[in-house]
Amino acid sequence: MSEVISTDAVIVGAGPCGLFAIFELGLLDIKCHVIDILDRPGGQCAELYPEKPIYDIPALPIVTGAELTHKLLEQVKPFKPEFHFNQMVTELKKLGDAGFELKTDGGLTFRSKVVVIAAGGGSFQPKKPPIPGIDAYEGTSVFYSVKKMEALRGKDILIVGGGDSALDWTLNLQPLAKSLTLLHRRDDFRAAPDSVKKMRELVAAGKMQFKLGQVTGLSGTAVTGDVLLVGSAATWALFSSVGRPLVAAIGAFRAVFGASLVAIVLLAPLIPLELSGRSLPPLDLQTVAARARELRAL
């Protein structure tokens, strides 16, 4: 049995809220241990957008995720918190009036009077689209988050998604990119209206492209990053079992996106439709073929 770590408070999550909780508890002379599944503090700010500007932090007109994390760590330094990274809480139980006991998948056991849950959206796992062979491109041409903006300077970039993250990165990467295309399955976004407005202004000015569609396949050389994205407004499932329309779609998107895309950023929860509460439409070869002809005409 592992040694039990006894402390005043355990904070689950080392993101901005968890880090600020250290400060607030420290003012009350409450000592903290902090558990996080990531290998460093910062949570979503550090994992998903360390270089993306953030505009909604009080008293800070603009700050990046990395800068915010650094400032919060400086703020809590006097209270000497103890961090436990690469640990996921697997068990939490009440010990009568004595407090709580937590256990992690790394074999650690904590007992404390206070437990603060600052887990945010939970552990970060990319929602990968069901595309055969996509693993070979990850880290070279396919990315699920942007860690270093400068690494994408002068590249042909395709961003897939329609939420705040996709629109924010569209606006921030457009000035750096050789070319930038935003791909989304519909002309309706789950992002801030101001971001959508700015994106449409860039499209109208000819500084980027917006295309309707979804990812259905990848081809190219993963080692060199020479990648072609294949997609259509039809669902990925339709094209996965139809040979000839798929070839037509490849030709159409090669014309739209160019022969190679150096960076594809997948920022949307691209999941099969049956997993999102909707059933897949019946496979209609005539409809698929008609859509392929539309793509060829683009």
Under 8 Å between Cβ of 89 and 102: yes
- Please determine whether the domains at 4-117 and 134-296 fall in the same fold group of CATH: yes
Fold topology of 134-296: FAD/NAD(P)-binding domain (3.50.50)
Under 8 Å between Cβ of 52 and 168: yes
| Confidence at residue 256, expressed as pLDDT on a 0 to 100 scale | 35
pTM: 0.55
| Confidence at residue 141, expressed as pLDDT on a 0 to 100 scale | 80
Which token pair is 129?
Answer: 């689209």
Dihedral sign, CA of 131, 137, 138, 143? negative
4-117 sits in which CATH class?
A: alpha beta
Low-confidence ranges of the chain (pLDDT < 50): 222-264, 267-285, 288-289, 291-293, 295-298
Q: Any idea where the domains of the chain sit in the sequence? A: 4-117, 134-296
